[in-house]
């Protein structure tokens, strides 16, 4: 079978290897779609934390089930996706029903080789399906689940203002599920094309360009109170630090984006608001279930995110271009 490996930052290499063998408890999937996410792009440019090379990228996947690995409720030929965070089931996080932040977690395509290949073998417990959903929809379930998890962490309530910093695919998913929860979403980005997408496609009423006087604009939108919820989906140190100044008193700040450096805040400013700061890592099966239900009910139109589609043999040729904002990529999808 064909695979493509990121040998080092900026370098891909194609190879042919044997298909994965049958193994107890392991399901085999013939990959049909590979979504390209920020993690893949950052790994390619050499800025992704928790990463080593060489690595087969790819964890936003869908395909046809070839072997079930004994998974109940699944059959050969099912269209499936996976929960790509493999946990130990024994640590303090797993025992607290938080396998998404398992002490020894292995994320497919990050800590171990991922899905940029024709066939994959994964724990059968990772399988996810929903009758009636397309391969494109299933491939986007994982990034949407990350958004759903961030919104669940924030505990968004109806009527609350929610500033979402970053209008990439993760941020867009956060906006969608914050809106479903009844939040009044304020989309914030430096890219006017993406802000236009938020308005025109997602129906987000409030959009703010972070290159302009964003604090004054958000103060105006919220009538001086600022936002009860801030969620970062940029992974930008500058954006993350700016977010602290946009919180209402009693507000919650959730970091979905990840950057390598320290976070420095004014303790008095943070303290007087009785602020809450949280991280949000990966997602759980509960979040995947939330996403699949929203897709099935057409509350989220995942296909609208897809701006670029290529075949597997063009990854090496086209990948670097997806880092260029001028190409207006929201979600790139590889078809096998």
> Cα(299)–Cα(167) distance, rounded to whole angstroms?
18
**pLDDT surpassing 90 at residue 325:** no
Residue with tokens 């090379």: 53
Numbered ranges of CATH 3.90.180.10 in the chain: 2-139+301-335
The yes or no reply on domain 2-139+301-335 and CATH 3.90.180.10 is yes
Helix 141-154 vs helix 169-180: crossing angle, to nearest 10:
50
pTM of the model: 0.95
**Opening angle at CA 172, ends 166 and 175, nearest 5:** 95
**DSSP of 7-75:** EETTEEEEEE-PPPPP-TTEEEEEEEEEEE-HHHHHHHHT--SS--SSB----EEEEEEEE-TT-TT--
Question: pLDDT (tens digit, 9 = 90+) per residue, 176-201?
Answer: 999 999 999 999 999 999 999 999 99
Alpha-helix residue ranges (DSSP H) falling in the chain: 38-45, 92-95, 135-139, 141-154, 169-180, 192-200, 214-221, 237-243, 267-272, 285-296, 315-318
> Cα(296)–Cα(289) distance, rounded to whole angstroms?
10
Residue with tokens 């996810």: 128
Q: Above pLDDT 90, what percent of the chain? A: 94
**pLDDT surpassing 80 at residue 56:** yes
Given this model, what pLDDT does residue 31 score? 98
**Confidence band of 48 (pLDDT split at 50, 70, 90):** confident
CA distances from 228 to 155, 182, 246, 325 (A): 10, 13, 9, 30
> Cα(259)–Cα(236) distance, rounded to whole angstroms?
6
CB count in 10 Å sphere of residue 48:
21
**pLDDT surpassing 80 at residue 50:** no
> Cα(26)–Cα(82) distance, rounded to whole angstroms?
12
Numbered ranges of CATH 3.40.50.720 in the chain: 145-279
User: Across residues 133-150, what is the average pLDDT?
Assistant: 98
- Partner residues linked to 121 by β-bridges: 28
> Cα(76)–Cα(1) distance, rounded to whole angstroms?
20
Helix 169-180 vs helix 192-200: crossing angle, to nearest 10:
30
Query: Residue 75's closest CA among 139, 21, 127, 142?
Result: 127
**pLDDT surpassing 80 at residue 175:** yes
**Confidence band of 251 (pLDDT split at 50, 70, 90):** very high
> Cα(238)–Cα(257) distance, rounded to whole angstroms?
12
Given this model, what pLDDT does residue 306 score? 96
* 107 contacts: CB under 8 Å, gap ≥ 6: 50, 59, 84, 85, 86, 282
Question: pLDDT (tens digit, 9 = 90+) per residue, 306-320?
Answer: 999 999 999 999 999
Given this model, what pLDDT does residue 193 score? 94
Which is more confident, 45 or 48?
45
* CATH number at 145-279: 3.40.50.720
> Cα(29)–Cα(176) distance, rounded to whole angstroms?
29
User: Across residues 13-17, what is the average pLDDT?
Assistant: 97
* 173 contacts: CB under 8 Å, gap ≥ 6: 143, 144, 145, 146, 147, 148, 300
Query: Residue 171's closest CA among 182, 157, 190, 187?
Result: 187
**pLDDT surpassing 80 at residue 49:** no
Q: Above pLDDT 70, what percent of the chain? A: 100
CB count in 10 Å sphere of residue 207:
21
**pLDDT surpassing 90 at residue 259:** no
């Amino acid at each position: 079978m064909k695979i493509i490996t990121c040998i080092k930052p900026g370098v891909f290499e194609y190879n042919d290897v044997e298909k994965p063998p049958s193994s107890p408890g392991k399901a085999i999937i013939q990959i049909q779609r590979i979504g390209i996410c920020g993690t893949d792009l950052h790994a390619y440019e050499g800025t992704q934390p928790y990463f080593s090379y060489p690595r087969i990228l790819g964890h936003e996947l869908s395909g046809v089930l070839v072997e079930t690995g004994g998974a109940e409720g699944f059959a050969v030929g099912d269209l499936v996706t996976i929960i790509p965070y493999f946990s130990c089931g024994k640590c303090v996080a797993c025992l607290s029903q938080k396998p998404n932040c398992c002490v020894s977690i292995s994320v497919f395509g990050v800590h171990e080789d991922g899905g940029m290949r024709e066939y994959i073998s994964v724990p059968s417990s990772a399988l996810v399906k929903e009758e009636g959903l397309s391969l494109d929809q299933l491939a986007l379930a994982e990034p949407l689940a990350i958004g759903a998890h961030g919104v669940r962490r924030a505990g968004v309530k109806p009527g609350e203002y929610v500033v979402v910093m970053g209008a990439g695919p993760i941020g867009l998913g956060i906006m969608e599920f914050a809106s479903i929860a009844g939040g009044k979403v304020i989309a914030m980005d430096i890219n006017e094309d993406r802000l236009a997408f938020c308005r025109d496609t997602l129906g987000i009423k409030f959009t703010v360009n972070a290159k302009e006087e964003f604090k004054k604009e958000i103060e105006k939108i919220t009538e001086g109170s600022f936002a009860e919820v801030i969620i970062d989906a940029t992974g930008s140190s500058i954006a993350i630090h700016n977010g602290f100044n946009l919180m209402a008193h009693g507000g919650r700040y959730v970091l979905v984006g990840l950057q390598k450096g320290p976070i420095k805040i004014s303790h008095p400013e943070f303290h007087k608001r009785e602020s809450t700061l949280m991280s949000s890592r990966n997602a759980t099966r509960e979040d995947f279930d939330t996403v699949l239900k929203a897709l099935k009910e057409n509350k989220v139109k995942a296909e609208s995110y897809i701006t670029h589609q290529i075949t597997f043999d063009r990854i090496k040729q086209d990948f670097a271009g997806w880092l260029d904002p001028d190409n207006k990529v929201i979600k790139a999808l590889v078809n096998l």
